[in-house]
Amino acid sequence: MARPDPIPAYEDNYIWLLRDGPATLVVDPGDAGPVIARLGATPPSAILITHHHWDHIDGLPELHARWPEVPIFAPDDPRIPIATRRVSDGDVVNIGPWRFEVIAVPGHTQTQIAYHGAELVFCGDSMFSLGCGRLFEGTPAQMLTSLDRLATLPGETLLCCTHEYTAANARFALAVEPGNAALTERASEVAQRRAGNAPTLPSTIASERACNPFLRVESAEILQSLTQHLGHEPNDRIEAFAALRSWKDGFR
Ligand code: ZN
Ligand code: FE
């Protein structure tokens, strides 16, 4: 199995690179420089885009001009002006030895998609390790549905999200679920990796199910924390998730 490789870009972005023999895949090239530095003169087999934010697509003009023959897969959104194939929920993307299924994951943006295949998922800014994307365009119910879909992927699936937010996410996760032993262990692993300037990604779906508070709104301890924070018990999962998300928005 090919191990996905996170290429650091900007402050805390990762552009994912996947290689298997001559096949190479680039995901969310927000900047062309680091991609070209890594690939040199060899074009990738394809480029995948998860959503329209600049830090995920701004490398496209330069990469497309340099390698016009390389297919670019992206959601159908006019805010992503460069793409050669528009894909949506349920579509299958075949590249070299890989087969990816497209999963709609609205919430952070309306048209965000994830690519699941090769025992990993490229999920952009929908799920993060120990966190989830901010709700710029979608509703809490939409994001919860998106996270639920990602959470049902096989546990060993590698979570390839696009920001190194894990340490900050761990602080919030520990504040809302301090009694979670798996989380405590993951948080210390994350601290160790960041101290050595190493990426905390990819994570796995199994680890996120055990540690990520946004996948754990049914946890008794999280519900207790939310009840204290809100001043009343959340009425349902969606209210619990919405409260958790807005709590995190203001958490420092
Ligand atoms: Zn984004
Ligand atoms: Fe982003």
Helical spans, DSSP H, in 88-180: 140-151, 166-176
Domain boundaries, the chain: 5-170+179-215
Residue 207 has which token pair? 């680890």
With respect to CATH, is domain 5-170+179-215 assigned 3.30.360.10?
Answer: no
In terms of DSSP bridges, do strands 72-75 and 46-48 run parallel, antiparallel, or are they unpaired?
A: parallel
Query: Could you list the active site residues?
Result: 51, 53, 55-56, 108, 125, 163
Rounded percentage of the chain residues whose pLDDT exceeds 90: 98
CB-based burial, 72-108: b 16+ in 10 Å, e otherwise:
bbbbebeebeebeeebeeebebebbebebebbbbbbb
The pLDDT tens digits of the residues spanning 31-76 come to: 999 999 999 999 999 999 999 999 999 999 999 999 999 999 999 9
Closest CA to 16 of 150, 110, 114, 97: 114
What is the CA(133)–ligand 2 centre distance, in A? Answer: 8
Q: What distance in angstroms lies between residue 170's CA and the mean position of ligand 1's atoms?
A: 20
Ligand nearest to the CA of 161: 2
- Centre of ligand 1 to C-alpha 85, Å, is 20
pLDDT in tens, 175-198: 999 999 999 999 999 999 999 999
Distance (Å, rounded) from C-alpha 238 to C-alpha 214? 11
